[in-house]
Amino acid sequence: MADPAYFPPPHSSRIGISDVEQLEAQTRSLRSVDYQHGGGACRDAVVVRIYWAQQLLAAEASDSVRARLLSAVADLHNLAGWTSFDSGQVGAAYHHFDRALDFARHDEDLTTNIVYRRGRVHLHHGAPGDALAYFQRGAFAPLASSIMYVNEAWAYARQDRSVEALRALGRAQDSFASADRTHVPDWARFHDETDLTAMAGTVHAELGDTRQAIPALVSAITAWGPEMARSGAFCLISLASCHFLDGDVDEGRSVGMRAVNAAEELRSERVWDRLRPMLRAAASHGVALR
Name 210's Cβ contacts closer than 8 Å, sequence gap at least 6: 204, 242, 243, 245, 246
What is the rounded average pLDDT of the residues 190-204? 98
The whole-number pLDDT of residue 1 equals: 36
- Amino acid letter at 123? L
Q: Which residue, among 220, 218, 93, 200, has the nearest Cα to 149 in the 3D structure?
A: 200
DSSP 104-171: TTT-HHHHHHHHHHHHHHHHHTT-HHHHHHHHTT--SSHHHHHHHHHHHHHHHHHTT-HHHHHHHHHH
pLDDT of 2 strictly over 50: no
CATH 1.25.40 in the chain, residue ranges: 107-191
pLDDT band of 144, cuts 50, 70, 90? very high
Global pTM? 0.94
What are the pLDDT digits (tens) for 252-277? 999 999 999 999 999 999 999 999 99
Tell whether domain 107-191 is in CATH 1.25.40: yes
Question: Tens digit of pLDDT for each residue in 99-129?
Answer: 999 999 999 999 999 999 999 999 999 999 9
Alpha carbon of 44 to those of 12, 21, 32, 39, 264: distances in Å?
Answer: 26, 21, 15, 9, 20
Which amino acid, residue 234? F
| pLDDT score, position 7 | 54
Interval 244-249 mean pLDDT: 97
Residue 110: name the closest of 228, 7, 189 by CA. Answer: 189
- The one-letter amino acid code at 183 reads H
CB of 38 within 8 A of CB of 230?
yes
Average pLDDT over residues 200-229: 98
CB 242 within 8 A of CB 205: yes
The region of weakest confidence among 25-39, 135-149, 206-220 is 135-149
Neighbours of 190 (CB within 10 A): 15
At 286, give phi and psi (nearest 5°): 75, 20
- Kindly give, in sequence order, each residue whose CB lies less than 8 Å from that of residue 246, ignoring residues fewer than 6 positions away: 210
Tell me the per-residue pLDDT of 4-47, one tens digit each, with 9 for 90 and over: 444 555 556 889 999 999 999 999 999 999 999 999 999 999 99
What residues does 14 pair with on adjacent strands?
Answer: 60
